[in-house]
Amino acid sequence: MRHAMKLFGGAGLVTIGLMVGTGTAQTGTGTPVRYAMDVGTTTGFTAANPMAMMRGGGGNAVSHELTLRLGSSQAPTGGAPQADHFMPAGANLGASVPLVTPRPSTGSSAPGQFQRPKGRLLLYWGCGAHAPAGQPVVIDFAKVAAGQMPPGLFSASVPVETGPTQANSRTFGMWPNSDARNNSRRLDGNSSLLGDHRIAGNYSPEIKFALNQDFLAPLHANAADAPAGGTALSWQPVGEATGYYAWAIGGQDMGQGGGDVIWWTSAGAKEFGGGFGDWLAPATVQRLIGQKLVMPPSQTSCTIPAEVKQPGQMMMTFLTAYGPEANFAYPPRPRDPKIAWHPDWTARVRYRSTTTLMAGMPGMEAMGAMGGDEGNRGNEDRDRQKPKPCKPSIGGMLGGMLGKKNC
């Protein structure tokens, strides 16, 4: 069982400590080939052009994210690993995108002088005007760096459903990647995945399936001052959402100068890390709703307690709408559970919609109404022609506090 604590911000993900988490995928016994598509819609700060937003534009920016992973127990035939995902025309990605096997890193860098981190991490959880007794849980960064983790902090309630990876596959390929053919291929807000999909390569059988579920609708949210001193978070419902999860993180100097970092989640119990920031299966979301760790799809608001909001701090808020999941296999799963099932391949498609906003500022749709989207559209073509740089994230900042290399 792997232990890791993950902090996530939009597409950013950084491991800073320990967390217990296991996940299962819908596969048959000994499935030799697994394919995974992670499909996301993003709005807010992680989707908009920052400079355009500062000018009052880009507020309605919507972008799409797509990660493709092919894992096989087979060795490639005829040379180096090669595989392609042939896309519907509406994806606007060309006839196909290459699934490239990551190369092992050959570079080395001299480690910098380690400075023991300072400051504290204050953990709050639950929706409400005020934090209940027993909060916050206080974590001293210096003690964490020395290996002293507070007991009972991490839980296995939220699985990390990883699917195929290079570590659990004999041969592996993924997209996006560094292949030169990707230089001008970028998803945009008009991309569509509806239609037939085909994956072909030299280390897997041909995989075919059709999608009738497209990218989820964009998630738009607002964060405003609440009467009791907290922050009233509200959002427009996403039609296909199976549940919602919110979290916020911030501080005056984000711990860089020894100050406090505050981390809040909407979960109704002390549950941090895990698969909250991932794509979660509908059955998992339903279970977490029953445990009051995820908000039901009928809920469209949550109050961040007043204790979380402190003078002079920067506070970023993240909201996720978990979506449906589609599973395919060949041969299909038998209806009779007594019949042994040994599929040649399985494919899983997961959906989510996310948004990011600054507490106390208007939501993205309000900013768009103030200034329009001209700034975002003006940069769209240039953004498609070059790889997107590594985005700084709150998780990256926290990773840096513990001496971990960031982008």
Beta bridge partners of 7: 14
365-382 average pLDDT score: 40
Q: How confident is the model at residue 277 (pLDDT cuts 50, 70, 90)?
A: confident
d(CA 210, CA 270): 40
Q: How confident is the model at residue 160 (pLDDT cuts 50, 70, 90)?
A: confident
| pLDDT above 80: residue 406 | no
What is the DSSP secondary structure assignment for residue 286, as one 8-state letter?
H
256-267 average pLDDT score: 83
| pLDDT above 80: residue 320 | yes
| pLDDT above 70: residue 38 | yes
Q: What is the pLDDT of residue 275?
A: 87
Q: Comparing 99-103, 182-186, 282-286, 343-347, which segment has the lowest mean pLDDT?
A: 182-186
| Segment 48-82, tens digit of pLDDT | 444 444 444 444 689 999 999 999 999 999 899 99
d(CA 193, CA 174): 17
C-alpha dihedral (234, 239, 245, 251), degrees to nearest 10: -40
293-297 average pLDDT score: 97
Q: What is the pLDDT of residue 261?
A: 87
The two structure tokens encoding residue 395: 């998780």
| Segment 192-203, tens digit of pLDDT | 999 999 999 999
CB 94 within 8 Å of CB 202: no
24 or 217: which leads in pLDDT: 217
Q: How far is CA 162 from the centre of its chain?
A: 12
Q: What is the pLDDT of residue 46?
A: 59
Q: What is the pLDDT of residue 188?
A: 80
138 or 28: which leads in pLDDT: 138
What DSSP assignment string belongs to 22-76?
A: ----S--TT-SEEEEEEEEEEEETTTS-HHHHHTT--TT-EEEEEEEEEEESSPP
Q: What is the pLDDT of residue 51?
A: 45
24-29 average pLDDT score: 40
CB 253 within 8 Å of CB 262: no
Q: What is the pLDDT of residue 272?
A: 83
